[in-house]
Amino acid sequence: MTVLEPFGARLRRAMDERGPLCVGIDPHASLLAEWGLNDDVAGLERFSRTVVEAVADRVAVLKPQSAFFERFGSRGVAVLEKSVQEARAAGALVVTDAKRGDIGSTMAAYAESFLHKDAPLFSDALTVSPYLGYGSLKPAVDLARESGAGLFVLALTSNPEGGEVQHAVRDDGRSVGATMLAHLAAENAGEEPLGSFGAVVGATLGDLSSYDLGINGPLLAPGIGAQGATPADLPHVFGAAVRNVVPSVSRGVLRHGPDVGALRTAADRFAAEIRTAVTAS
């Protein structure tokens, strides 16, 4: 298996060269309808191909949401495979948003699906859920290291329901979310210029100064745009860790489709606003 340069190093370079913007590929039914597309495999393929064509050559990261492809069965997964491959060929890093989480051989199989270099769905990184215990992610951590890929671990998510788990306090007095951040800091210790094991931390959460976000790894930050957060909020939310934030925008860009030029303009605007906010902090 060919081993890539570590994901963290590749991501740092892409963020420095292209800006840190991540654009989601979220072909849910309402967006397909807004684009004048049918809610079927043909509409899915047209939508995904258009997004890749518009922005894969200019943004650091594209993040397809696997569920919106899986709902069409094997033909939808085939569209996802093609989208991942074409986006990577155009120079974007691909984070597949699948939020996989399991134990033992099952977690290993999920990891092989997305993180083995020869897998049809091989992605530069994968979102994973640690809520069967952080140690359950070991097969994914090990394979990511082996292949030069990365992980984004759900730590402090923006959905209101997440708090009942992530803000729960352990016997040692530390919250579950803070514990996940500490595990990631340990994974990334000594890595330069950036570790490959990141956290998902919502951009809508407000002041997070009570958490140690200095994990020496990337922070994937959903919530910019339609969910209410703005690029100007990033320094306040992430503080000293803001340079390692990968803000994710989906509808804020995608609603401008299906016109390729309008999608590019929207992505460029968000990228410029994010770069200004990050560099000014």
Write down the residue that tokens 């597949």 correspond to.
96
Cβ-based neighbour number of residue 118 at 10 Å? 9
Separation CA 11–CA 185 (nearest Å): 17
Separation CA 241–CA 245 (nearest Å): 7
pLDDT of residue 175: 97
Task: Report residue 55: phi and psi, to 5°.
Answer: -130, -10
Secondary structure letter of residue 232 according to DSSP: G
Cβ-based neighbour number of residue 223 at 10 Å? 23
Helices (H), the chain: 7-18, 29-34, 41-55, 66-70, 74-89, 104-115, 138-147, 163-166, 176-187, 234-238, 251-254, 260-280
Instruction: Tokens for 55, please give them.
Output: 């922005």
Three-state secondary-structure class, residue 193: coil
Separation CA 215–CA 194 (nearest Å): 9
Task: Report residue 271: phi and psi, to 5°.
Answer: -60, -40
Full DSSP string of 105-131: HHHHHHHHHHHSTTSTT--SEEEE--T
pLDDT of residue 1: 47
Separation CA 247–CA 230 (nearest Å): 10
Q: Which residues are catalytic?
A: 99
pLDDT of residue 279: 85
pLDDT of residue 4: 87
Number of H helices, E strands in the chain: 12, 8
pLDDT means per 10 residues, the chain with 281 residues, are 85 97 97 98 98 98 98 98 98 98 98 97 98 98 98 95 95 97 98 98 94 98 87 95 97 97 97 91 65
Cβ-based neighbour number of residue 88 at 10 Å? 17
Sign of CA dihedral 5, 143, 91, 190: negative
Contact, 158 vs 204, CB < 8 A? yes
Secondary structure letter of residue 229 according to DSSP: B
Separation CA 11–CA 41 (nearest Å): 31
Separation CA 24–CA 22 (nearest Å): 6
Contact, 52 vs 43, CB < 8 A? no
